[in-house]
Structure 1
Amino acid sequence: MSLHVECSEPQRSFKRAFALSDDASNSVNPRPTKRYQHLPPTPPTPSLSLKKFSQSSRPEAVLSSPPGDSRLPRKPALVDLDPASCPVPEKSRLDYWLEDLPNSPPTRASSCPPDLEHSIPPEILDIGEGQPLSFDILQEISQSQRPKLEAGSLGSGRSSRPPTSHADYRRTLRKNGICIDHTGAEIPPELRSFLDLHILQERSSKVSPESITEAVNTAIQIADSPEGNVYDLQDTAMLPIKRSKVGRGGNTPWFPDGLPRNDVYGIPLAAPKADIHLGYPIDHNSGWTDKEDAVIDHVAARRLTKPAKGNCFPFFTLELKSEAMGGNLWQAENQAAGSGASCVNATRWVFREAYPSRDQSVMKSIAFSACVTQRLAIFYVHFYSAEKSQHYMSWIATCETMRHVQKSNHLVENILEHCLGARQTNIRTALGQLYPFPSHWKNSRPASVMDSQNPSADYKDETSNKTRRTE
């Protein structure tokens, strides 16, 4: 006796059903219509079978299969619906917020690069379609976009630092109180007399012919070489800068705290980064006392006294440029102007802190620089004129690398002799006056002598409540 048992159809959760169209022209590969109509949700009764639910809720769905193969699954076809009959969704809060936005274009961020407008001048709009543009017309289009590029070449913000290679950097130097004196006419009489007697004076010792020949041959070898080989001149009699008592550094960024700054103008100078800078050593063989080192490394002073790595109180900077690689003396002068002014301001700040009631002599804070190529070495003196409230970078000598080796040698020797002698002695005396530390250094931030300086005025005497000191 056989027993026949009917089992109910398996139950499973249903996905949301969609209305499908029966496209007679494409029953094998039906295409969806532009809109789908949502059908009633899954019935709540779990005992309702899939077959019954499909028959009750989708009477318009027609199932068809490709002819000739009954084994293929049957694919539903879509039913064309009228879009107008579909319900319109209600607006959300986001929709109302978007409608209230202004129609004006968004504001362009100040950090974005210059925006190019793809526009054609009116005078060339009448060109016939398909006709090639002449060279004059293309040049006119290019010229129309150039002012917009130049307007943003210095940066979008007033506080951006333009590079020393920028065409307007000389103007930035002047606006921040630095003047490049190409003839030396601005050198005051006191400083001129000192330079003639101690810096430009020929020394009794002569450079050997072998050393001169070596320096000339080195200059010839690097005439068409990359910039790195120009550094070879420092190992010759042309630039005898190697000394055991000299701290050397180079190609590292300086703190910009010592740079002069015009707050009204608003565009600061580029941070110095001298190729080579000479100063006083800071290692264990430097010769500074513990008290002097304490003043040099104090948080109120160290960004001025040690603006870069390798030394403290730098006094001689060198910028070496290769003409073969596009370097030039114009850019070297721009770079030396900033580093030279920083050297001057570091010593001026120390003397002002040590002797606040005394007028400073221009002689005590001078610094030197040299702009060098494989052809020339041009030397400058840097000083601050309290009378004119101006920093100067004044020319003192020009030496050809293949003709004036001995002249350049004596000039460098005299600079090092003065800076390692009288200049360092004056600095050490001032450092001794600053220990114990002044009372206003206790809660001071890192020193920046030019925070509020305007090039049109000398340093203000901000020491009314400071301890008066005497030499």
Structure 2
Amino acid sequence: MDGPSQSTKRRLDTNLETPSLPAAKRARLSKTDLQQPAPKHPRASFLEDHVELTDTISEWLESIGSDREKRCRSDSYLHASSDDLISRNLTRSAPQMAYNRDADGYAVPPTPGPSYGSVAPSDAGSSRSSRALVEDPYYRDQNLAFNHVYMRPPCDQFPEHVSSLVDQVRQSRDSPGPTLDEVRHDAGLYQLEMEGLDEPAVERYFGNSILPYPNPEDDLRRSDRQPMSRHAVPNAGPQFKVSNPIPDMLYGYSRHQAFPDQQTQLISMGNEMNGTANNQSLMYPFFVIEFKGNGGDLWVATNQCLGGSASCVNIAERLNRQLKACKSSKVKPIDSTAFSIAMNGTEARLYVSWKHSDLDYYMQKVDSFLLQKPRDYIEFRKHVRNIIDWGKDTRLKEIRESLDTLLEESRKRTSEAAKSRPP
């Protein structure tokens, strides 16, 4: 039974495949096949939607990255790592590092070893997936500590020379300032608090009201958002770098206006040793200001102040090292102390920085000011103006005298060498 049945089935199948059908029917079937469109892949339309969705997400991420760069524009950037997933607000609650103290009672954090952390900082430019190095939650404990830059508790006593300078900055001024009533009715100041203005607006207001821009013929010079020279930044090694400072405002001196009689000495020293801080020829800086919008982070601004003010101290200390090498009774080191401010539209934090030893840089808070309170506003203005007056008076005189001493010693050595040569 199976054999004949299978044979019959094979014959029927064969008959369907053979050209035994009528010619007209075969023509109709052939014509239908030619007109039938090729089937589309069932995933094609889905993939088109997927591509459009991916493009939309990419554009959104780019906009976030661009906004991040605008909000933290004052420092170099670090490519994002897995650490980015850790919120810095969460890390703030972690216990602080146990600091040892030296013979003078100064806190000395342990220097991180080669395996301390998984992310090495770089000077690479920003990208869509990058963040500012100063925003890293471990920036102080890794990068700054590795380079001997430390934040001291505000309750610690200042060294004697720093305390004396801070007292000078706190003194009353003879020049008239705004009255309490004028501050209360300051519409621009009120706007900073009520409208949550961004960083440029905060900078513009205080640049017009408290932080003066020197005239071209003044000894002082102010640079806005200019990178400090890399050689000015205290970096002990390549593994954990201090973020290259780009202060929102930096006060120092005009090379030609402040040092007209010291040009020969400045040229002989070279830019890396003569106090040059940036490519605008700002010399021997002493005052760093970092702004944030009212939604900005003053913790980050303080990190920027740590690096910027340590760089100011480092520049001045280079001059002191050259003075020590003179071994002359006339030589007196200059005061390498520097000041910095981290602020937004409602609060300002004033810091002072100094060199403690051959290695260590310290920064400590002098005071905080609630800028919407008229008395605090006036006190803040007084501190700022006193710092600027100190910079263009006492400090500038010290630097001029030191450069003159170096030039005199150089000429003396040249003269002695000429006399010692046989005729």
Alignment partner of 2:136 out of 166, 184, 196: 166
Give the distance between the partners of 1:398 and 1:354, measured in 2 at CA: 36
Q: Is the alpha carbon distance of 1:393 and 1:267 closer, same or farther for their aligned partners in structure 2, counting shifts above 3 Å?
A: same
Is the counterpart of residue 194 in structure 1 residue 165 in structure 2?
Answer: yes
Match of 1:253, SS state, is: coil
Match of 1:365, SS state, is: coil
Q: Is residue 212–residue 406 contact of structure 1 (8 Å, CA) maintained in 2?
A: no
Is the counterpart of residue 281 in structure 1 residue 254 in structure 2?
Answer: yes
Deviation at 1:204, TM superposition (A): 3.7
1:295-340, CA deviations, whole angstroms, 9 ceiling, x for partnerless residues?
A: 334463446611214421111110001133xx21111111111111
Query: Which deviates more, 221-230 or 369-378?
Result: 221-230
Match of 1:355, SS state, is: helix
Deviation at 1:280, TM superposition (A): 0.8
Q: Is residue 215–residue 236 contact of structure 1 (8 Å, CA) maintained in 2?
A: no
Alignment partner of 2:294 out of 323, 327, 330: 323
**Larger relative helix fraction:** 2
TM-score, normalising length: structure 1: 0.54
Give the distance between the partners of 1:374 and 1:418, measured in 2 at CA: 26
Instruction: Report the AA paired with residue 236 of structure 2.
Output: N
Q: Is the alpha carbon distance of 1:211 and 1:317 closer, same or farther for their aligned partners in structure 2, counting shifts above 3 Å?
A: farther
Q: Is residue 337–residue 354 contact of structure 2 (8 Å, CA) maintained in 1?
A: yes
- Percent of pairs identical after alignment? 21
Is the counterpart of residue 391 in structure 1 residue 361 in structure 2?
Answer: yes
Q: Which residue of 2 aligns with 1:251?
A: 225
1:276-295, CA deviations, whole angstroms, 9 ceiling, x for partnerless residues?
A: 00111235xx14224x1233
Q: Which residue of 2 aligns with 1:91?
A: none
Q: Which residue of 1 aligns with 2:337?
A: 366
Deviation at 1:184, TM superposition (A): 5.4
Give the distance between the partners of 1:397 and 1:338, measured in 2 at CA: 19
Alignment partner of 2:240 out of 264, 267, 286: 267
Give the distance between the partners of 1:367 and 1:169, measured in 2 at CA: 21
Deviation at 1:232, TM superposition (A): 2.1
Match of 1:370, SS state, is: strand
Q: Is residue 362–residue 383 contact of structure 1 (8 Å, CA) maintained in 2?
A: no
TM-score, normalising length: structure 2: 0.59
Match of 2:403, SS state, is: helix
Deviation at 1:205, TM superposition (A): 4.0
Q: Is residue 321–residue 373 contact of structure 1 (8 Å, CA) maintained in 2?
A: yes
Give the distance between the partners of 1:312 and 1:156, measured in 2 at CA: 27
Give the distance between the partners of 1:113 and 1:379, measured in 2 at CA: 31
Q: Which residue of 2 aligns with 1:346?
A: 315
Q: Is residue 219–residue 258 contact of structure 2 (8 Å, CA) maintained in 1?
A: no
Is the counterpart of residue 405 in structure 1 residue 361 in structure 2?
Answer: no
Q: Is the alpha carbon distance of 1:348 and 1:184 closer, same or farther for their aligned partners in structure 2, counting shifts above 3 Å?
A: farther
Instruction: Report the AA paired with residue 274 of structure 1.
Output: P
Q: Is the alpha carbon distance of 1:276 and 1:214 closer, same or farther for their aligned partners in structure 2, counting shifts above 3 Å?
A: farther
Q: Is residue 334–residue 399 contact of structure 2 (8 Å, CA) maintained in 1?
A: no
Is the counterpart of residue 221 in structure 1 residue 191 in structure 2?
Answer: yes
Match of 1:316, SS state, is: strand
Alignment partner of 1:420 out of 379, 387, 392: 392
Q: Which residue of 1 aligns with 2:87?
A: none
Give the distance between the partners of 1:216 and 1:200, measured in 2 at CA: 24
Q: Which residue of 2 aligns with 1:180?
A: 151
Q: Which residue of 2 aligns with 1:378?
A: 349
Give the distance between the partners of 1:344 and 1:194, measured in 2 at CA: 15
Give the distance between the partners of 1:426 and 1:273, measured in 2 at CA: 26
Alignment partner of 2:302 out of 333, 339, 345: 333
Deviation at 1:182, TM superposition (A): 4.2
Q: Which residue of 1 aligns with 2:403?
A: 431
Instruction: Report the AA paired with residue 385 of structure 1.
Output: H
Instruction: Report the AA paired with residue 277 of structure 1.
Output: L
1:203-261, CA deviations, whole angstroms, 9 ceiling, x for partnerless residues?
A: 24442338943884323223411211011233454444656432010212111212223
Match of 2:135, SS state, is: coil
1:429-460, CA deviations, whole angstroms, 9 ceiling, x for partnerless residues?
A: 11112227859xx9xxxxxxxxxxxxxxxxxx
Q: Which residue of 2 aligns with 1:306?
A: 276
Q: Is the alpha carbon distance of 1:256 and 1:273 closer, same or farther for their aligned partners in structure 2, counting shifts above 3 Å?
A: same
- Structure 2 residues not aligned, in runs of 5+: 1-16, 18-78, 83-115, 124-130, 415-423
Deviation at 1:354, TM superposition (A): 2.3
Give the distance between the partners of 2:148 and 2:208, measured in 1 at CA: 36
1:59-113, CA deviations, whole angstroms, 9 ceiling, x for partnerless residues?
A: xxxxxxxxxxxxxxxxxxxxxxxxxxxxxxxxxxxxxxxxxxxxxxxxxxxxx99
Q: Is the alpha carbon distance of 1:189 and 1:155 closer, same or farther for their aligned partners in structure 2, counting shifts above 3 Å?
A: closer
Q: Which residue of 1 aligns with 2:173?
A: 203
Match of 1:222, SS state, is: helix
Deviation at 1:372, TM superposition (A): 1.2
Q: Is residue 247–residue 290 contact of structure 2 (8 Å, CA) maintained in 1?
A: yes
Give the distance between the partners of 2:81 and 2:235, measured in 1 at CA: 27
Deviation at 1:173, TM superposition (A): 0.7
Deviation at 1:350, TM superposition (A): 0.9
Q: Which has the larger radius of gyration?
A: 1
Q: Is the alpha carbon distance of 1:156 and 1:399 closer, same or farther for their aligned partners in structure 2, counting shifts above 3 Å?
A: closer
Match of 1:397, SS state, is: strand
Q: Is the alpha carbon distance of 1:234 and 1:182 closer, same or farther for their aligned partners in structure 2, counting shifts above 3 Å?
A: farther
Give the distance between the partners of 2:80 and 2:366, measured in 1 at CA: 42
Q: Is the alpha carbon distance of 1:201 and 1:411 closer, same or farther for their aligned partners in structure 2, counting shifts above 3 Å?
A: same
Q: Is residue 257–residue 304 contact of structure 1 (8 Å, CA) maintained in 2?
A: no
Instruction: Report the AA paired with residue 185 of structure 1.
Output: D
Alignment of 1:87-166 (within 5 A): 153-154=119-120, 163-166=133-136
Give the distance between the partners of 1:275 and 1:213, measured in 2 at CA: 24
Deviation at 1:402, TM superposition (A): 1.3
Q: Which residue of 1 aligns with 2:45?
A: none
Give the distance between the partners of 1:186 and 1:410, measured in 2 at CA: 22
Q: Is the alpha carbon distance of 1:260 and 1:156 closer, same or farther for their aligned partners in structure 2, counting shifts above 3 Å?
A: closer
- Structure 1 residues not aligned, in runs of 5+: 1-24, 26-111, 116-149, 443-471
Q: Which residue of 2 aligns with 1:53?
A: none
